[in-house]
Structure 1
């Protein structure tokens, strides 16, 4: 979540309330977060000097507006251009895709290729699992359960194929077509 917040703050300095609204307005399509988790991530980013308080509004509540520091910009770039981590490819890939326009054009295709490579690796694992399961005999009392578990695996394979193709096509085109 910290990297998503860094990306949002690179787009524009924001308050906690603004970040919550930014999550609701777009980021929540691929990354869910509570206001408490956003606040905790902000505190961590402040402690690591990756963000700073840009201003504090006068008045009773003293709303703070945050912005990234140079160290925060560097950390964001390292995350964007680094290896995808975590078990959930979709969240990792879409978080980077959402902010890909913040990178220099030359840095974008390698990010898309890394996503494509991860999709290929995940798909290979699922395909190997399917091959293994095809060799197993399922006891009669578990066939209904196994059928739906297999349907779940089939969905994962179809989703992996789609991700592999979609990110490959996007990389081949050099990004989305604008205009």
Structure 2
């Protein structure tokens, strides 16, 4: 995934200032595509230079923030990108290598870190379920709402998987060894 396409998506959902975009990004797309505020501002400049977005003159007096909106060329680029085909990315997770290393050099005390990671996954799962209850309780959702909910559901499933994985790893680590 690319940051420009994530930003185009967010701006099409709601044109806004760079600071508002960065804040919204942290609370939505940022759950599955990490980016710093500095990267977002830098990318906004590139998107504007490419003719995909434009910044609007601030309304009102001094201190007002410049808002951004997507231009037709930006919408077209996003449509092109969404229509591309790509292969799933292979899993690249340090914990998997550390568990393999535990099998060779253990015991190392890795269980403490797995407990910590499980707590983080449980907290993220609770947050996702809270968002689901708050934002997706409509009886007759629109297609756009259903797609957004589907993305959240993937997050819920991922966190559920990691919680279960951590539980299983802790059980194996606690079992009597060879």
| TM-score, structure 2 normalization | 0.49
| TM-score, structure 1 normalization | 0.49
